[in-house]
Chain A
């Protein structure tokens, strides 16, 4: 048995959870299954895109009699793409086939395509989509812009020689490389979310049981102080949260092979601050719950807005201003930002200083609130 009362409380929490195999599974196995499945789905090889090309390009004739059709060249270059199945059709067929679902997209080069590119030094093309499937839309657009860039680069090396005007596409990736996928940016926020959500739920239920089972009353009749109880809870649950983060981190790095350049100590620091906030939020809100179901009822109130607004699904920067304001009230927003910056961009302690400060402030506020509700007057 530990020597101090705080550690005694922490020891008790750890022992209780260790005994409860379902909870242990919930903490360690479930997150790995979820992120594993998510990773699998995200990385499923996409089906080829059926692209029909309507090529009416009349080409470009220089005063010296040289002729060149960028449309023809691009059709040829796009044929080499591995993700596209190309067919050439007439404009009248195009719409029909698109509606019938036989093709996914139609690329149109109109009569003066080359002419215009030569004059404006800018490539613009028309892409027709059926439009009713947003997931397909996004995928086609993404693939097309990538393939198009590659096709243009390929033209340079064609046996017919480079086109008589400059075609240059430049893409620079500031961090990591172009084979960066959705999972890479999802993994950091997943770690933060899982820790916050599970620890909130577990503390809430634990504390509720402590109240309902009368052990809190008994605890308060011993020399242990409110602060010691709160600290004990923080250490006990923090212990599991940090091991959980380590397990998820190792899993996503070594099994799922996500890109990772950060300092693990910083990840644990962010995680620890977030957990302190979430443990105390659990204690605080458990005061307002009469049973386990009522703890679960806090999820739409506490967890859902954070999932929607903290940038897990849509980056916060893309929100309208008023919604950004709301997002920046959520602790998870800061944890997500800090973890993304550390894991993907290798930020150091000072670069995530602001996020850490906000998380620490949130943790302090929650400690204050939970200690306040944990008055001597238990009943």
Chain B
């Protein structure tokens, strides 16, 4: 079986700080893999290594069959950063068209389609700077989706998003999953974790445990994920 993401002992140090320690991760096609952990546990750094933005200090990894940094398969990856990261002076449509063009998608229909997918049809001509946080987040998702990526790497895509929109986002992820898109998503919100097919619990840079939400709960002997996380991670996380 070909894994979409496979890493062996992947580590990253910033000076004396070990941001990611010996992470060995396998993500299968069509999974929604959730990286769960408190702030500073290394989720962002791990994802940035996978898209080639940060060079690992140690270890190896492959994404879509390409050794990291995965320069040659970047057009098949959709990456959404924590910060949203859009051009504030451009409209929603222009932002989507821009990131689409960089990944080789110039079809106007596709751009309209993906804007409609995130429910921004009537704001397509609005300048991003004038949008609310939630709408910006939707536009940002559209930019990550525009080129029909096979793998989505989403770093806390629902941070600062209200519960209703969060639920809409997860419905999208489910749909994409069914179309065969693999998703690696990070979160520190437990109710999102329940919607992943598999979870990896991170703490202080290490991947402590892996499994489906059900497996983790039974492994910890608790009724909810929050409890399972506390028990496995040692109880003192923020």
In the complex, which residues of chain B have a beta carbon less than 8 angstroms from the beta carbon of A64?
A: none
Are B104 and A221 touching (Cβ within 8 A)? no
Are B94 and A217 touching (Cβ within 8 A)? no
In the complex, which residues of chain B have a beta carbon less than 8 angstroms from the beta carbon of A143?
A: none
Given that A19-B89, A218-B85, A376-B53 are contacting pairs, would A223 and B103 also be in contact in the complex, using a CB cutoff of 8 Å?
yes
Q: Give the Cβ gap from B13 to chain A, nearest Cβ, in Å.
A: 13
Are A16 and B87 touching (Cβ within 8 A)? yes
Are B48 and A16 touching (Cβ within 8 A)? no
Q: Does A220 contact B (CB under 8 A)?
A: yes
Q: Give the Cβ gap from B186 to chain A, nearest Cβ, in Å.
A: 15
Q: Does A2 contact B (CB under 8 A)?
A: yes
Are B87 and A221 touching (Cβ within 8 A)? no
Q: Give the Cβ gap from B70 to chain A, nearest Cβ, in Å.
A: 10
Q: Across chains A and B, which 10 residue pairs bring their CB atoms closest together, nearest first? A: A214-B85, A214-B83, A221-B79, A222-B102, A8-B101, A221-B51, A218-B85, A1-B101, A223-B74, A16-B89
Which of these, A19, A217, A376, A377, contacts B85 with CB under 8 Å?
Answer: A217
Q: For residue B48, which residue of chain A has the nearest CB?
A: A379
Give the size category of B's interface with A.
Answer: 20 to 34
Q: Give the Cβ gap from A365 to chain B, nearest Cβ, in Å.
A: 26
In the complex, which residues of chain B have a beta carbon less than 8 angstroms from the beta carbon of A9?
A: 102
In chain B, positions 79-123 with a C-beta closer than 8 Å to chain A are 79, 81-90, 94, 97-104, 106
16 A-B residue contacts at CB 8 Å?
A1-B98, A8-B102, A11-B98, A15-B90, A213-B86, A215-B87, A218-B85, A220-B52, A221-B53, A221-B74, A222-B75, A222-B102, A223-B104, A376-B69, A378-B53, A379-B48
In the complex, which residues of chain B have a beta carbon less than 8 angstroms from the beta carbon of A221?
A: 51-53, 74, 77, 79
Q: Does A345 contact B (CB under 8 A)?
A: no
Q: Does B55 contact A (CB under 8 A)?
A: yes
Q: Does B54 contact A (CB under 8 A)?
A: yes
CA distance A5 to B54 in the complex (A): 23
CA distance A20 to B74 in the complex (A): 32
In the complex, which residues of chain A have a beta carbon less than 8 angstroms from the beta carbon of B104?
A: 223
In the complex, which residues of chain B have a beta carbon less than 8 angstroms from the beta carbon of A89?
A: none
Residue-wise interface mask of A (207-218) relative to B, using a CB-CB cutoff of 8 A (1 in contact, 0 not): 000000111011
* A residues contacting the other copy or chain, number (CB 8 A): 27
In chain A, positions 1-42 with a C-beta closer than 8 Å to chain B are 1-3, 5, 8-9, 11-12, 15-16, 19-20
Q: Give the Cβ gap from B83 to chain A, nearest Cβ, in Å.
A: 4
Given that A3-B106, A221-B52 are contacting pairs, would A213 and B90 also be in contact in the complex, using a CB cutoff of 8 Å?
no
Q: Does A269 contact B (CB under 8 A)?
A: no
In chain A, positions 266-284 with a C-beta closer than 8 Å to chain B are none
In the complex, which residues of chain B have a beta carbon less than 8 angstroms from the beta carbon of A19?
A: 89-90, 127
In the complex, which residues of chain B have a beta carbon less than 8 angstroms from the beta carbon of A213?
A: 83, 85-88
In the complex, which residues of chain A have a beta carbon less than 8 angstroms from the beta carbon of B52?
A: 220-221, 376
Which of these, A20, A223, A377, contacts B53 with CB under 8 Å?
Answer: A377
Q: Give the Cβ gap from B42 to chain A, nearest Cβ, in Å.
A: 13
Q: Give the Cβ gap from A254 to chain B, nearest Cβ, in Å.
A: 33
Are B48 and A223 touching (Cβ within 8 A)? no
Q: Give the Cβ gap from B18 to chain A, nearest Cβ, in Å.
A: 16
In the complex, which residues of chain B have a beta carbon less than 8 angstroms from the beta carbon of A20?
A: 89
Q: Does A219 contact B (CB under 8 A)?
A: yes
CA distance A218 to B155 in the complex (A): 12
Are A2 and B101 touching (Cβ within 8 A)? yes
In the complex, which residues of chain A have a beta carbon less than 8 angstroms from the beta carbon of B53?
A: 217, 220-221, 376-379
Are B75 and A215 touching (Cβ within 8 A)? no
Given that A1-B97, A376-B52, A377-B55 are contacting pairs, would A223 and B85 also be in contact in the complex, using a CB cutoff of 8 Å?
no
In the complex, which residues of chain A have a beta carbon less than 8 angstroms from the beta carbon of B143?
A: 218
Q: Does A224 contact B (CB under 8 A)?
A: yes
Q: Give the Cβ gap from A143 to chain B, nearest Cβ, in Å.
A: 53
In the complex, which residues of chain B have a beta carbon less than 8 angstroms from the beta carbon of A220?
A: 52-53
Q: Give the one of B84, B99, B101 with max A CB within 10 A.
A: B101
4 new A-B pairs (CB below 8 Å) besides A15-B94, A215-B87? A218-B99, A221-B77, A223-B102, A376-B69
Are A218 and B103 touching (Cβ within 8 A)? no
Q: Give the Cβ gap from B67 to chain A, nearest Cβ, in Å.
A: 14
In the complex, which residues of chain A have a beta carbon less than 8 angstroms from the beta carbon of B69?
A: 376
Q: Give the Cβ gap from B156 to chain A, nearest Cβ, in Å.
A: 13
Residue-wise interface mask of A (365-379) relative to B, using a CB-CB cutoff of 8 A (1 in contact, 0 not): 000000000001111
Q: Give the Cβ gap from B74 to chain A, nearest Cβ, in Å.
A: 5
Q: Give the one of B48, B88, B89 with max A CB within 10 A.
A: B89
Residue-wise interface mask of A (223-237) relative to B, using a CB-CB cutoff of 8 A (1 in contact, 0 not): 110000000000000
